[in-house]
Structure 1
Amino acid sequence: MTDAMDDQRHDAATWFHTLRDRIVAAFEALEDRAAGPAAPGRFEVTPTIRENDGGGGLMSVMRGGRVFEKVGVNWSQVHGTLAPRAQAAMAARGVAGMAEDPRFWASGVSLVAHMQNPHAPAVHMNTRMFWTPGAWWFGGGTDLNPCLEYPEDTAHFHDTLRDACAPHGADYYDRFKAWADEYFFIPHRGRARGVGGIFYDDLNTGDWQADFAFTRAVGEAFLPAFLPLAEARMTQAFTEADRDTQLIHRGLYAEYNLVYDRGTKFGLETGHNADAVLMSLPPLAKWV
């Protein structure tokens, strides 16, 4: 690995950590602004270590807040050797050199928020960089998961993402929105898990700085896209029927993450802390 790539890996991991810090601070500030008899929610931060390989991260989870019923904002920086199954999967994806050399390095931030109020949408976001001896790439995205959809909320979320994508590629929003529509789909239910967003993976245009700049733009867009929706809906009155709808929708979310999500599969197969990998699961869900 070149000295330049060492610096790039350091810059990426540092920025992902900074993004994690900013989101945690913004969510705790929202908890402070919310009214309620209970104390405002706070994140419990737990370092994670990969016992059999290198690296680890920070698992940050808030439970039982005024606004967030459960939210996790995790940062990781890991390295080592891929297990045979993960190595074979990457080789099948055409990752250069992976069949011969299973070493890897990865860093990123991953977020899932499940809300107290059924009118406030659940949300997912992640951005990451991955390196192998033969290749590097960026990936990530964000998608909105309301159980009770408001068209104006969906429009705001997508408009913010469109604006973030525009300076980086004329086709980025349309291309990555279509990818999200395909990726965040539950085949056995025949439906999307939410109202979409953007998703991209294996992004390597040959210009590391440009691809990193786009990935930063995706991360920077998250709070402006989501926070106004959470704040607007957090005090809206809801019924037991609304809560029931929320719990059923969470069941769909859990099914998707356990059966189809790439990040869940990769985290478990590479030996990362299982609690950190599965922090995306809702605290309560329901099936009919």
Structure 2
Amino acid sequence: MMPAETLTHAEMTQEKAQAAAWFRQLRDEITAAFEGLEDSHTQGPFAELEPGRFEVSETRRAAADGSDAGGGLMSVMRGGRVFEKVGVNISEVYGTLGEKAQNAMAARKGLPGMKEDPRFWASGISLVAHMRNPHAPAVHMNTRMFWTPHAWWFGGGSDLNPCLEYAEDTAHFHATQQKYLDPHGTDIYPRLKEWADEYFYIPHRNRARGVGGIFMDDHNTGDWAADFALTQDIGRAFLPAYLPLVEKRRSQPFEATDKDTQLVHRGLYAEYNLVYDRGTKFGLETGHDANAVLMSLPPMAKWV
């Protein structure tokens, strides 16, 4: 983590605005692409349904004293032809970190002065898709920027969560991500892939929640523009990595046993997000809209 004095100006006003605008642009591209998938699904299971559309609502975060502390947009599609539930949220929040968040962040990131000046700003995009057809993989993606007076950093990634695995789908997902990351250094994709394998692991089940992807946190080389460019390419890789898999699998016939396998796998996903996911914990601890924070949970799941 690079110290704050390496920044050209401590508040990073221009950089914050640039990052928040990019996350919103990415959100617009993804929601348009997903609604396009709904419109083009005219044959196969669920094609008789009305194409799904995103319902968009504002979320607000209030500080402890009731003052405005930012918010965002929650975009959720439910009951579509292709997506049973998908959320694409963006947020820009700010204020002061509470004692629990201060302690957790100071311990994990080794930041000095957190208690003396606990201000923060954060913006990002978060996406989780749960599919109608059990052959089509669920997916998660997020990218974010976080700032305190002591440091700034980027984080995020995307990972594939099929309940019925296809080796060729996994290979395409990973190869596309590597294609977008290699221009930033050929060491980056292997490192972020390994990080995802470690992060998206469920210790009490002794297994990964999916087939992996890429993940990073605390990313700060001291070159804001370069770090932001890497974060953008993580976001840009998402649609070409994921859309072809959905287009290939959305019309595939399936059995009742396949749907049962999907519901059990969703239970695994819910366990991870409620027990281990840092973003879920941070969002709830800092008072963000609970519905937006828990958007990642599937509409239906089961446990054996």
TM-score bracket for this pair, using the shorter chain length: over 0.9
Offset of residue 164 of structure 1: 1.1
**SS at structure 1 position matched to 2:183:** coil
1:126 partner letter: N
**SS at structure 1 position matched to 2:213:** strand
Aligned mates of 2:303, 2:232 — CA distance in 1: 37
Match of residue 90 from structure 1: 105
Match of residue 223 from structure 1: 239
Offset of residue 96 of structure 1: 4.1
Offset of residue 97 of structure 1: 2.9
Describe the superposition over 1:3-22 as per-residue Cα deviations: whole angstroms up to 9, x where unpaired: 87100000000000100011
Q: 1:136 aligns with which of 152, 173, 187?
A: 152
1:70 partner letter: K
Is 1:74 matched with 2:89?
A: yes
Q: 1:206 aligns with which of 222, 231, 241?
A: 222
Aligned mates of 2:289, 2:111 — CA distance in 1: 25
1:251 partner letter: G
Shift >2 Å, 4+ stretches: 1-4
RMSD over equivalenced CA pairs, Å? 1.1
1:44 partner letter: E
Q: 1:20 aligns with which of 27, 33, 36?
A: 27
1:51 partner letter: A
Describe the superposition over 1:152-190 as per-residue Cα deviations: whole angstroms up to 9, x where unpaired: 000000000111110112211111100000000000000
Offset of residue 48 of structure 1: 0.3
**SS at structure 2 position matched to 1:42:** coil
Structure 1 length-normalised TM: 0.98
**SS at structure 1 position matched to 2:147:** strand
Is 1:155 matched with 2:171?
A: yes
Structure 2 length-normalised TM: 0.93
**SS at structure 2 position matched to 1:252:** helix
Q: Percent identity?
A: 72
Aligned mates of 1:224, 1:67 — CA distance in 2: 17
1:108 partner letter: G
**SS at structure 1 position matched to 2:191:** helix
Aligned mates of 1:101, 1:51 — CA distance in 2: 19
Kept in 1, the 8 Å contact 2:69–2:93? The answer is: yes
Match of residue 164 from structure 1: 180
Aligned mates of 2:122, 2:141 — CA distance in 1: 17
Count of aligned pairs: 288
Aligned mates of 2:301, 2:10 — CA distance in 1: 48
Aligned mates of 2:26, 2:179 — CA distance in 1: 19
2:264 partner letter: I
Structure 2 alignment gaps of length 5 or more: 1-6
Please show how residues 276-287 of structure 1 align to structure 2 within 5 Å.
276-287=292-303
1:244 partner letter: D
1:22 partner letter: E
Is 1:8 matched with 2:6?
A: no
